[in-house]
Structures are given as C-alpha cells and as structure tokens.
Amino acid sequence: MGCIGHFEHARRDAPGTLIELAILDVDEFKKVNDTHGHLVGDQILRALADALQADFPDAIATGRLGGEEFIVAALTRGHAQLAGALREMLQAFGAHQFTTDTATFSVTFSAGVARLGESEDVYAAIERADAGLYEAKRGGRARVVG
C-alpha cells in the first residue's frame, strides 16, 4: 500500500485524532558536504532518519523524500502537537556533535508542519508543510513553523 493509502486508513481507523505532517530539511547541507565530504553527509542523513524513527515510532509515515528532505506524518490529539515534538527533537539533534578527523560540528534542521483537514487532499497539506519549511529557512533556519 502506498503512503496515501496509509493516510486514508489512519483517517478511517482513528476517529477523534488529527493527522499532522511535516517536511524537514537539513540546514546548510551542501556546505556540510562541501566541507566534510559526502560520507559525512550520509552519516548526518542516517542520524536524522534514526532520530525520526526513534522519536516517532508510531508515525503513519517517516522517510526521506529526497536529497536532505524528510517527511513525518503522525496521528495527534491536538493541533501543533507534532510541531512541539519536532522542536524538542531539533534541540536534541542540534546539540549532537558530529566528529571527523579534522573537525567537530553540529547540524540543525528546519521544518514546516501542516494539519491534514478531514476531507482534504494529502497533497494540499504537503504543499502547506513545504511552504512552512521555506518560511523556516527564510526566518533563519533551525526552526519549526506550523
């Protein structure tokens, strides 16, 4: 079953809950790759994927969209619950130190969050989350909008 099917089942099987989704993007990822190499960049992507799976084990969907972008969708009981959880995750992830032979550094991410309306098309909510991501980037990065 595709991702859209998961959303449809979640809507039907969990009355009284909301579906929130977020698009995340590693901040300054090109700079990380240019400075530390693609192998280090891959380690950062794996670390973010692991953090998403650990922090959202019951999510409807978590995964890499492409490049340095990820998606997470979760059932919540209140609006902005996912945004709050992502802000906590951002603090922990941003505090983690990555170490190479020549440097120790940290990395952050930005995210946009949107609530999926009861009869709304999933793609419309994804577009709103993506717009929130761009707002977070324009607002200085290392933040969650939504």
**Rounded distance, CA 67 to CA 77, Å?**
31
Catalytic residues: 68
Going by DSSP bridges, is the β-strand pair 104-105/109-116 parallel, antiparallel, or unpaired? unpaired
